Structure 1
Amino acid sequence: MAVLSFAVDPSKLSLQNSVLTLAQLECTPSADDGLPTALEQELRALGCEFIQSAGSLLRLPQVAMATAQVLLQRYYYTASLKLASILDIAMGAVFLAAKVEEQQCRVKDIVNVFCWLIDTYRGITTRVETYAIGARFNELKEGMAAGEMRILCKLGFNVQVQQPHGFMINYMQSLDLAENEELAQTAWNYLNDGLRTHIYVCYQPSTIAGAAIYLAARMHGVKLPTAPPWWEVFDIELTDMEDIAGHLVALYSRTPSTGLPLTLDELERYVDQIEAQERLASATLKP
């Protein structure tokens, strides 16, 4: 079953991830730089989508893609989107995560894949054979190297990420749900989709795993033990699971934006355009 393809190392199940404080969550460096909150969230999600797509094309295991997405989310709680482009950090995160998870991944392959993804996102059709040449290749390669170094420096070289997938599998086995493949796949999908939100930098992996099971069980109408409550057995707070479930539901209800900026120059023009539109709207409303 696809759900069990994620490598689980029982020796790591006790590790704890670094999580945000409330102050860090409420006031990000990008917000301090005047970036609209909605735009920041969209760019974070876009960066994670690029990572997921790149990892699939590079045939990296899901653990590497998940690690890269968490590193990107962590990074932008320490630095502004106006200082490092979402593209450079996404490439750097993939390059770094491949090393962290001991996966072979050539620089040339990462650059080529991202080059193709960028063109696809922008609606440009070009030949794959022409990607790994010239100034564009060097620019992307330098951006990737800079992105990796920025992540390492800002995170103090703390790049280990404990994922919730192993916890989810163990919890489902304890709840006698391991044979329910439909529910397991739904919960697995929630874990992967949740990488586009901030839940991985706000909660420990065990809590995220419980929330995925909680939401999947509600989706499929599966009743879970309440005497005692199953989440208490796993030392998980119900309010935390409900909060995570809310973020996941909100993610699915959001309409993806198109034409988002990928570079710093594009971001500057994009923000200027938003501000100009707001000034025009404000002037129009004045009597």
Structure 2
Amino acid sequence: MSSTFYPLASLSQIEKSPSGEDGLPQELEEDLRAYACKLIHQAGILLKQKQVAVAAAQILFQRFWFVTSMKQFGVGDIGMGALYLASKLEECPLRMRDLINVYDLLLQRATHSVGPKSDQPFHYYPMSYFGSTFYDLKDALVVSEMQILKRLGFNVHVVLPYGTLINYLRVLGLTSHQDASTRAWGYLNDALQTPVYALYQIPTIVSAAILLTIRHLNISLPSTPPTCWWELFDADWEDVWSVCGFIMRLY
């Protein structure tokens, strides 16, 4: 990870991730990243956790796979550990048992959706607190949190984009467009399922969300040199367009 205000992946990590070096196809790695981040998001909703903690967890999760191969740890375990750690960092800690229960529910539901009885209603079967499943998940949670801290070198500072988005919308005069604010906010949340928060600076990511928003809503902003609106925020067009590509691949 590079030593910026907050850590970003290095060029060598981007060109060949640890999972890629172990032979994991890039498309599969991207799908696993997105799926595990959806699990984090769903767990946060069920636990009524704050959005800042859920977002921070997804960013830590994405960073982790630039220093570790997916062949060493399960994405579900690391996602659970990231949410547990981020909840402490954002001062809204979760009970370990609650988090384990929610992940057990989500994993059972995911298994049911791809099983032979997927056409039948899903029924959750709670685990026994004296059985092996609970203690296995508890051990996995503790190990995952420890590995995230260790492999990220305890550099777990996270910068979230929401405040920056509001400021940029005000500068561009878009705050009067309710749909613009809501849609741009949604793009930033969707981008959490991609590695962009570990690859690009926040101004670039926010500019990409605004670009997708104004194109969808047909809002006109100065886009020809030397008066390009994204240059107000020191964002490079190629980087902004690349972030847009990451986000649009989700749909």
Instruction: Verify same fold: TM over 0.5.
Output: yes
Q: Where does structure 2 lack aligned partners over 5 or more consecutive residues?
A: 114-121
Report the counterpart of residue 273 of structure 1 in structure 2: none
- Per the TM alignment, residue 163 of structure 1 is displaced from its structure 2 partner at its CA by 1.1
Scaled by the length of structure 2, the TM-score of the pair is 0.90
CA distance in 2, matches of 1:64, 1:43: 21
Selected match of 1:112 from 89, 101, 117? 101
CA distance in 1, matches of 2:73, 2:126: 28
- Per the TM alignment, residue 151 of structure 1 is displaced from its structure 2 partner at its CA by 0.3
- Per the TM alignment, residue 222 of structure 1 is displaced from its structure 2 partner at its CA by 0.5
- Per the TM alignment, residue 224 of structure 1 is displaced from its structure 2 partner at its CA by 1.5
In 2 relative to 1, CA 223–112 (structure 1 residues): closer, same or farther, beyond 3 Å? same
Report the counterpart of residue 160 of structure 2 in structure 1: 163
Equivalent residue letter for 2:218? G
Q: Where does structure 1 lack aligned partners over 5 or more consecutive residues?
A: 1-14, 253-287
- Per the TM alignment, residue 138 of structure 1 is displaced from its structure 2 partner at its CA by 0.8
- Per the TM alignment, residue 45 of structure 1 is displaced from its structure 2 partner at its CA by 1.0
Contact 1:108 1:132 in 2 (8 A): no
Contact 1:70 1:161 in 2 (8 A): yes
Scaled by the length of structure 1, the TM-score of the pair is 0.79
Instruction: List per-residue Cα deviations over 1:74-120 (Å, max 9, x = no partner).
Output: 11110111111111101100000000111131001100000000001
Instruction: List per-residue Cα deviations over 1:152-185 (Å, max 9, x = no partner).
Output: 0000001111011111111001111112111111
Contact 2:127 2:133 in 1 (8 A): no
- Per the TM alignment, residue 129 of structure 1 is displaced from its structure 2 partner at its CA by 4.8
Contact 1:112 1:132 in 2 (8 A): no
- Per the TM alignment, residue 132 of structure 1 is displaced from its structure 2 partner at its CA by 4.6
1:113-262 to 2 correspondences below 5 Å? 113-123=102-112, 125-127=122-124, 129-130=126-127, 132-226=129-223, 228-252=227-251
Instruction: List per-residue Cα deviations over 1:10-67 (Å, max 9, x = no partner).
Output: xxxxx83211122111111111111122211111111111101001111111111111
Contact 2:127 2:134 in 1 (8 A): no
CA distance in 2, matches of 1:131, 1:77: 36
Instruction: List per-residue Cα deviations over 1:185-234 (Å, max 9, x = no partner).
Output: 11111101111111111101121111101111111100113462221111
Equivalent residue letter for 1:168? L
Q: More displaced, 29-38 or 208-217?
A: 29-38
Percent of paired sites with the same residue? 40
Report the counterpart of residue 116 of structure 2 in structure 1: none
Report the counterpart of residue 259 of structure 1 in structure 2: none
Q: Is it true that 1:34 corresponds to 2:31 in the alignment?
A: no
Counterpart of 2:112 in 1: which secondary structure?
coil
